[in-house]
Structure 1
């Protein structure tokens, strides 16, 4: 069990390190253009944003509810889960570990980080069917996707060791 928890600790630390660039680096670029006679290819719209920039844009364009939901489920809950899992792996007191572990599974059901990654990927794929719209997944997507995978793996590998009663 100790080896599993060491692996879980490493995975959790690495996942938290990936979360920051996953939130701050550009995740998706969308370009809308058309082939016009005489002029040639003309770009009408181009936007590249990170997750945090998207939250900021939504917030400042009166989409506050959506911005808050994305921020809560893709930033706050993943950060909270990671910090609590670190606590579970580093705290010695079993009763506190068990409570924290249960809490992670409760909030884990509300985490939409993995759903967010799938949503971005689906948006990317859906734009590929239209020649006027070009979408490119950028490095932020990779960081965030790897954060999701390593975080989930770290949580799955975490085990609780109940202390043996004194003889």
Structure 2
């Protein structure tokens, strides 16, 4: 019985972590273009973004990448909300057949909750571009003078607080559901 209460408590804590996990930035991405001619350097930002899960879904939707937007929305927002609501409903329907049916349904969609982990993995893959730099040197002549022009771009990315909140949500949600379900099925 203690596992049931502990599982429910962990689910509620996970919900508290879920909200900032989808609202706060998961990562920041900065990209700069640099041009160097002799001793003069010109720097221009190309991309300077902080993206949360919600902002990513919005941006993908605006860019008409609807399938990706819907998948991220479904797996990272909709399914977790439904799962948490069902755990709460099951908890209030103590020791009933409804509780068992709800937990059975949660178990069946539980496989899809691994998609949360997939979303985090995708964000980590994006972050792996950290410090990627390209550069190209061109030489040209003006009035008989040879000049070297160095053009480079640099990509920097950092993990945001939303990443930690969302990762903690994923782990606590899985643990809470597991503990709760263990008591209902026994």
Q: Any gaps of 5 or more consecutive residues in structure 2?
A: 134-153
Query: What is the Cα-based RMSD across aligned positions, in Å?
Result: 1.8
CA distance in 2, matches of 1:12, 1:67: 26
The equivalent of 1:33 in structure 2 is 32
Name the structure 2 match of 1:160.
183
Match of 2:80 among 78, 81, 106: 78
| Pair 1:35–1:153, CA change in 2 (3 A) | same
- The structure that has the greater radius of gyration is 2
User: Any idea what SS the aligned residue of 2:183 has?
Assistant: coil
Aligned residues: 161
Residue aligned with 2:47, SS: strand
Distance 1:31 1:102 in 2: 45
State the partner residue of 2:122.
119
Contact 1:124 1:136 in 2 (8 A): yes
Aligned to 2:22: 23
Give secondary structure in 2 for the equivalent of 1:128: coil
CA spacing shift, 1:161–1:138, aligned 2, 3 Å: closer
Structure with higher strand content: 2
Shift, 1:129, TM fit: 5.5
Q: Which moved more, 1:128-137 or 1:112-121?
A: 128-137
Deviation string for 1:76-122 (max 9, x for gaps)?
Answer: 00111111122223312421111111111111222311111121112
Q: Which runs of 5+ in 1 are unaligned?
A: none
Within the candidate set 46, 55, 59, 2:61 is matched to: 59
Q: Does 1:91 align with 2:93?
A: yes
CA positional deviation for 1:3 = 1.3
